[in-house]
Amino acid sequence: MWDETGAIRKDPGGRLNIALVYPNTYWVGMSNLGLHTMYRVFNDHPSIVCERFFTDSPRSVESSRHLNDFHIIAFSVSYELDWINMIRILLDNRIPVRREDRRGSPIVMAGGAAATINPEPVAEALDFCFLGEGEPLGDALADAFFASNGYRGFLERLAKVPGIYLPEQTRPVYEGERIRGFEGSRPVISVVRPFDNPGHSVILTDKTVFQDMFLTEIARGCPFNCRFCTAREIYSPFRPVEVDRLLPVLDRAARSGKKLGLVSTSLNNHPRLTRLLEEIDARGLKIAPPSLRLGMISEELLAYMKASRVNEVTLAPEVGSDTLRAALGKRVSGEEILKDVISLVRSGIRDIKLYFMVGLPGEEQKDIDDLIDLVKRIRQTFIQVSRGNRRIGRVSVSINTMVPKPHSRYERAALLEPGEAKKRITKIVKGLKSQSNVIVSFEGPKWAYIQALIARGDRRVLDVLTEMAAHDPSKWQEVLRSWPRNPDYYALREREPDEILPWSFYSHFERDQCRDGEEG
Ligand code: SF4
């Protein structure tokens, strides 16, 4: 049905059966490298059989089995809004949402970026959660499953594994609305070191976002420190993959006949970029670069992108003003951005996608004017340089409201009120309306509001998530209105400097060691 190659089918008999569920569509999920990695990790284990589920594949892709046929239901969750889909999947399969109502059968777990950033909104739904990098999970689950003879014994064995979080063993203590402290155990985030087994596409299909790419992870973590970002925080330290370790993956990519989709927060910072590009070139692979770090686009990379006929790149100036950009941790000026645009267009780039945000702490109306002005300058430069090319391309501008995320430097910041966010976005849209070759898109600020509510939620948020999952998605505002709690308390509010945050009971040891004194 899905027209794919690379799916793994194993006899489920005598094995630990894991349902790997991506709580979104097949189209979205199959471009998620984390899903490919966990599918490979689980199925590489001789005692595990792992099959995939999506919102539009309620039975397993591999064998059409039901969720209830599996010992463990493992949700891979990258985005907070997908927690609602996770609960909807449980409801649709008549699986009790709350852990206490399931009594160990089936076992429901979650991992992935959203789970690592803050698992608390769904903590009462999960038997366990995996925080951080999931590669050790296959061995840990198989060992605990086959060495124990029941649910309790299984969890007890798992509890010793770094990254495993058992919500029933950690209890937030509330005082009124606020959390006064935590009782019980304190998990840590799993970090894979050495990082020498990079993620890559396992199953190839044309029915996904990155359908023309073979995805390959060339580094994990990020050397920069943008204040709004969690990528740096939860996946530190920055670990480029040794080129020799990438060679077998490059060979597979070459055999796939697809472009090589390089996955990294910072391609420009791979310490052996020259050698890596040579090896890619030697295999005749074309590349699809990730978002490029502004101010650091080298001649060498430009030349390779030209040879690969890359015709679109993504850049993230984030804001229009240099001062605000520096304040959020990106020390690159508008002039440097324009220089990069010139270099990119000269090396054959036809279309440029720009990411911007509104609602950053300290943002003023002037910053919105600066954003409009920067896009106009980029467009003007882009068109001038493009005249030498056969076709003048597009500048696509994507605007999002900044959602303060747990573990980022802005984790305590207020969310810009949706009405004000809408005004600022509307001003940008109007300001750029008459600009030819510029296309503006944005995410509705109300989605940022829901995202913020969930992202910084505590265990009391599960009730409203369950109600949202049980109702038509268009009814979310009514559901929020009927919730006895105040959603603004979670979504909008700036947190007090001494307030104990719902996710503050677990930590990332290495990050805490190295965060002071660094800058983006
Ligand atoms: S460069 Fe900044 S935004 Fe990008 S991953 Fe690194 S810290 Fe995050």
CA of 207 to the centre of ligand 1 (A): 29
* 502-516: burial string, b at 16+ Cβ within 10 Å, e else: bbbbbebeebeeeee
The pLDDT, as a whole number, for residue 413 is 98
> Is there a contact between 99 and 87 (Cβ–Cβ < 8 Å)?
no
What are the Cα distances from residue 507, in Å, to 116, 165, 233, 516?
Answer: 10, 12, 10, 15
pLDDT band at 510 (very low <50, low <70, confident <90, very high): low
For residue 232, give the ligand 1 atom closest to its CA.
Answer: 7
* Whether the CB of 231 sits within 6 Å of ligand 1: yes
What are the Cα distances from residue 139, in Å, to 164, 187, 227, 243, 426?
Answer: 13, 19, 35, 26, 51
> Is there a contact between 125 and 108 (Cβ–Cβ < 8 Å)?
yes
The pLDDT, as a whole number, for residue 80 is 96
State the Cα–Cα distance between residues 415 and 401, nearest whole angstrom.
Answer: 8
The pLDDT, as a whole number, for residue 518 is 41
Q: Cβ contacts of residue 81 below 8 Å, gap of 6+?
A: 447, 450, 451, 454
State the Cα–Cα distance between residues 251 and 233, nearest whole angstrom.
Answer: 32
The pLDDT, as a whole number, for residue 304 is 87
User: pLDDT, tens digit, for every residue of 411-433?
Assistant: 999 999 999 999 999 999 999 99
Sequence spans of domains, the chain: 4-184
Question: What average pLDDT score do residues 81-94 get?
Answer: 98
pLDDT band at 514 (very low <50, low <70, confident <90, very high): very low
User: pLDDT, tens digit, for every residue of 30-72?
Assistant: 999 999 999 999 999 999 999 999 999 999 999 999 999 999 9
The pLDDT, as a whole number, for residue 234 is 85
Minimal-distance CA residue to ligand 1 atom 1: 224
Q: Cβ contacts of residue 222 below 8 Å, gap of 6+?
A: 229, 231, 232, 235, 236, 238, 265, 266
For residue 293, give the ligand 1 atom closest to its CA.
Answer: 1
pLDDT at 1 over 80: no
- Could you tell me where the beta strands, DSSP code E, fall in 6-89? 16-22, 48-54, 72-76
Six-digit token string for 444: 């509705």
The pLDDT, as a whole number, for residue 507 is 78
pLDDT band at 519 (very low <50, low <70, confident <90, very high): very low
Q: The domain 4-184: what is its CATH number?
A: 3.40.50.2300
User: pLDDT, tens digit, for every residue of 342-380?
Assistant: 999 999 899 999 999 999 999 999 999 999 999 999 999
* Whether the CB of 332 sits within 6 Å of ligand 1: no
The arrangement of strands across the sheet holding 395-401 comes to 312-318, 351-358, 395-401, 438-442
* Whether the CB of 228 sits within 6 Å of ligand 1: no
Query: Which is it for strands 4-5 and 48-54: parallel, antiparallel or unpaired?
Result: unpaired
SS3 assignment, position 440: strand
User: pLDDT, tens digit, for every residue of 438-470?
Assistant: 999 999 999 999 999 999 999 999 999 999 999
pLDDT at 2 over 90: no
User: pLDDT, tens digit, for every residue of 155-171?
Assistant: 999 999 999 999 999 99
CA of 450 to the centre of ligand 1 (A): 23
User: pLDDT, tens digit, for every residue of 212-267?
Assistant: 999 999 999 998 889 999 987 788 899 999 999 999 999 999 999 999 999 998 88
For residue 330, give the ligand 1 atom closest to its CA.
Answer: 2
> Is there a contact between 112 and 78 (Cβ–Cβ < 8 Å)?
yes
State the Cα–Cα distance between residues 84 and 364, nearest whole angstrom.
Answer: 34
For residue 329, give the ligand 1 atom closest to its CA.
Answer: 2
pLDDT at 334 over 60: yes
Minimal-distance CA residue to ligand 1 atom 8: 229
